[in-house]
Structure 1
Amino acid sequence: MSALRKPVSVLVVIYNEHNEFLLLQRADDKHFWQSVTGGVDPGETPITTAYRELKEETGIDAAALGITIHSHNKTNQYTIRPQWRHRYEPGVTINTEHVFSIQVPSGISVVLAEDEHTDFIWLNKTHACERVWSPSNRQEIELIGV
């Protein structure tokens, strides 16, 4: 059995110069579209996690490309979905999410982590906000470019 997670994660909103947002479809729920997310591993900082998760989930290696992931210096808290609570210590129901964003060139190659996501789509802000499942993810997309 793998170690239980800390209830600390990152959200990385990815967009391009045309204000199109990259959303990923979760493998475990075809109705759940999201930006890149992931748990902060022991010994990692949230920014390190953001770079790692971006590369793992999309194949986009921001460090190698010389593209900076920007911290919003903000956290959101949300209730962990019941089907995911077994990943945490008993009784843990709230996660703290550190918010980041990155602007990538349009046409950048996306290679999904097949065990986590089955599809991806680039959408304008309005359609991305309509499609994304998480209220905190929606809120952060809405704030980009404001």
Structure 2
Amino acid sequence: MNVESFNLDHRTVAAPYVRLADTKKLPAGDVIEKYDVRFTQPNVAHLEMPTVHSLEHLFAEKSRNHSDRVIDFSPMGCQTGFYLILQGQWEYDAVLALVADTLEDVLVADEVPAANEVQCGWGANHTLSGAQEAARAFLAERDSWSQVTA
């Protein structure tokens, strides 16, 4: 299939993990990398939508304090994780550090950035505590992030 994740057997993965899902070389020679940042086990558990939404806002804002090469942090429709899009080629350990540093920032945040009707399409659909709980759980499993399959 054309979509990389549709070719991934979701029954074989062991979340949480951080996986390089795709690398693209653009026509002008630039390279982008897409990482699967999986918080919950597919088809077993998921993040509630306010948690997903708040993590999206927090990670999108806070990650850019650690790198100017973050292009996007997008939620998966299945609510089990996110796609982190980065400019250039990265060492895997540097990606893990970026994710960890950003999630540590989430833990000490006192608000969800842009969680209002002026800056967000559903400003009331947020939970700082939910985002922090998910970040805490993900960080607690950091030693296993590189193990994608059981």
TM-score w.r.t. the length of structure 2 is 0.29
Q: RCO higher in 1 or 2 (8 Å CA, sep ≥ 6)?
A: 1
